[in-house]
Amino acid sequence: AEGELANFHEYFPKNEDNSFGWQNNATNRLVIVAKGPMVYIYTNGVLIGEVDTTQPPQVALGTPPDLGAIPGAQQIPDYQEQVAQYGDATDYLLGQLAVAKRNFSKSKSEFTDGLLGFLGMSQSGTMNCEFNNAWLFIIE
């Protein structure tokens, strides 16, 4: 794909991995295994997703924030801010998806070299990701 985004899938670790810590300063182990056209994603030893790179990009957008039954005076502006953040995140994801769909058909789907990229997003405010003790193993 000549360094361009050519596929896109989203996963929510907490849906599959009960031990996944989403808070800042939490420690999680992320392992990516690329084997032929398949990419396996693990967090904390739990398989949270599989990507078949021969399949086109896809996104399953989450649901917008819920206001609750009887909002208080402070809840309404907080809710409006969350809806705005959700809209911004959705617009970003849909933009990335459009680029990936456009490039997907132009390039081969099984990668023998190149790079994988990851993006972390949060619906609960600012998130800081720090990668320590990162290793790359190439097994032939």
Rounded distance, CA 46 to CA 19, Å? 9
Residue 42's pLDDT is 92
- The residues facing 31 across adjacent strands are 42
- For each of the chain's 140 residues, which pLDDT tens digit applies? 567 778 878 788 888 999 988 777 888 888 888 888 888 999 999 999 998 888 888 777 666 666 667 667 777 788 888 788 888 888 888 888 888 888 888 876 666 665 666 666 665 666 677 777 777 766 66
Strands (DSSP E) along the chain, which ranges? 30-35, 38-43, 46-52
pTM reported for the whole predicted model: 0.68
Residue 48's pLDDT is 93
7: number of Cβ within 10 Å: 22
CA-based end-to-end distance of the chain: 23
Pairing of strands 46-52, 38-43: antiparallel
- The residues facing 39 across adjacent strands are 34, 51
Residue 86's pLDDT is 80
Residue 44's pLDDT is 93
Name the nearest CA neighbour of 107 among 10, 37, 40. Answer: 37
Rounded distance, CA 52 to CA 76, Å? 42
Residue 117's pLDDT is 62
